[in-house]
A and B are shown apart, each in its own frame.
Chain A
Amino acid sequence: MPLLSQNEEKNIINDSLIGFNQKYGIRAGFDLSKLGRTIFDSYYSGFEINADYRITKSLYIAGELGFENKKTDTDYLISKASGSYFKAGIDYNLYNNWAGMENLIFSGFRVGISSFGQDREEYKIYDSYNQTWGEISNQENLEFNGLASTWIELLFGVKTEIINNLFLSFNVQLKVRLTETNPNNFENIFIPGFGRTYDSTKIGTGINYSISYLIPIFKKKSVINRN
């Protein structure tokens, strides 16, 4: 696949119309923020690969695959969640690129699913009057396996081509949990791919900072008015 220079991308069709090529292909990459967090956060390790495929000028199908391992340590509870997840959906480019440019400001939608387990490592009994008989803590490690959860996500982000076919992308996610299997006499503190859970709501949030490479498959000619 020959790489065309910036000039060859555009051709003047006539005085008022410019035609330019848009690249169609598979873009694949990985999440730098999760890699960074793995290095700097001793309670976290995780990795995510992502990919997208352009189907029309503004529409892409996209997906992410990853695993996460997160330890949560509060005054009364120490637990660890570990598992993998898969998300699939679409990205829609809201940005009108100048001729020859491939940047995106996009909104997107995903359906996510996670398969994970939780370890309850230690808990304390919350008793305001425990100064009488003494604090009680339980250090028996209890494993909950075969847990699963599904959710939907709304994304908003930017993808910028920094050098030829290499993209940096940043997005924020608003998620809503749909289903989850609940461990007996416990709860899902953290769900891989979804993030930490909250007591009062099924909403979650996330961010993603990725680097990816576009493997061009073909080019489509797109025509715009010179104005």
Chain B
Amino acid sequence: MRYTLLFFLLLSLFCCEPDDICSQNTQTTPRLVIDFYDIENLSSKKSVAGLFAIGINGQGDEINVIGESVETRDRIELPLDGNYNESRFKLYKNYNVVDGVVEGNPDIISINYNTESIYVSRACGYKNNYSINEFDIDNDVDLWIVLSEVIINQVENENLGHVQIFH
């Protein structure tokens, strides 16, 4: 009868289902990672003062980027819109709001990509991976961005920067 107990004990291991939770460690849909470099010293990174990103949708409306805040930094992560083949963002340098008026220098970037839905697990469902076709900077009178280059065009994780921006 000992074996009966052992058998049932073994079966009881399957009562709880950790498979039904999508763990934080699982790689799911990644954001686009942009690293900022010095235009006068192409291999060294350079922080952008008061960097802040705002999304622009198809109708031209401003969209809040979740988790985004004003910060001087040399790297930014931007979520891409999986519903379309293009996402546009305003990247502000020296972003500041004074008396309700937004100050700073916005440059508009647009990314064109192909989307692929890949199965992850029963708890996480599917993730999107993106394949960058083009990365453009809209022309304006006062560009703080000088140059951009796509380094990794497969957006599969956030480990390394996909795009380099020189300023």
Which residues of A does B touch, CB under 8 Å? 72, 74-77, 123-134, 136, 138, 156, 172, 174, 185-187, 189, 198-200, 203, 205
A174–B4 alpha-carbon span in the complex (Å): 12
A133-B55, A138-B117 are known contacts. Are A125 and B79 too (CB-CB below 8 A)? no
Do residues B123 and A74 form an inter-chain contact, with CB atoms below 8 A?
yes
A199–B29 alpha-carbon span in the complex (Å): 20
Determine the chain B residues whose CB is within 8 A of the CB of A132 once the complex forms: 55, 63-66, 79, 81
Do residues B20 and A126 form an inter-chain contact, with CB atoms below 8 A?
no
Residue of A nearest to B82 (CB): A136
Report, as a range, how many residues of chain B touch the other chain.
Answer: 35 or more
Do residues A199 and B125 form an inter-chain contact, with CB atoms below 8 A?
no
A134–B81 alpha-carbon span in the complex (Å): 8
CB-CB nearest 7 A-B residue pairs: A76-B125, A129-B79, A127-B29, A133-B81, A131-B66, A126-B28, A126-B124
Which residues of B does A touch, CB under 8 Å? 3-4, 7-8, 10-11, 14, 19-20, 22, 28-29, 31, 55, 57, 63-67, 79-83, 87, 117-128
Contact of B83 among A75, A134, A187, A198 (CB under 8 A): A134
CB of B140, distance to nearest CB on chain A (Å): 24
Do residues A185 and B118 form an inter-chain contact, with CB atoms below 8 A?
yes
> 8 A-B residue contacts at CB 8 Å?
A72-B122, A124-B125, A127-B79, A133-B82, A136-B82, A185-B119, A199-B121, A205-B11
Contact of B22 among A125, A126, A136 (CB under 8 A): A126
What's the dominant secondary structure at chain A's contact region?
loop
Do residues A129 and B66 form an inter-chain contact, with CB atoms below 8 A?
yes
A129–B19 alpha-carbon span in the complex (Å): 22
Contact of A124 among B79, B83, B126 (CB under 8 A): B126
A97–B37 alpha-carbon span in the complex (Å): 84
Determine the chain B residues whose CB is within 8 A of the CB of A189 once the complex forms: 122
Do residues B124 and A129 form an inter-chain contact, with CB atoms below 8 A?
no
Q: A75-B125, A156-B4, A174-B7 are in contact. List 9 more A-B contacts (CB 8 A).
A: A126-B125, A127-B29, A132-B55, A133-B57, A134-B83, A174-B10, A185-B117, A199-B121, A205-B11
Determine the chain B residues whose CB is within 8 A of the CB of A187 once the complex forms: 119, 121-122
CB of A154, distance to nearest CB on chain B (Å): 8
CB of B70, distance to nearest CB on chain A (Å): 17
Contact of A126 among B8, B65, B87, B127 (CB under 8 A): B127
Interface core residue of B22, B29, B87, B126 (most chain A CB under 10 Å): B126
Determine the chain A residues whose CB is within 8 A of the CB of B127 once the complex forms: 125-127
Contact of B29 among A75, A128, A185, A200 (CB under 8 A): A128
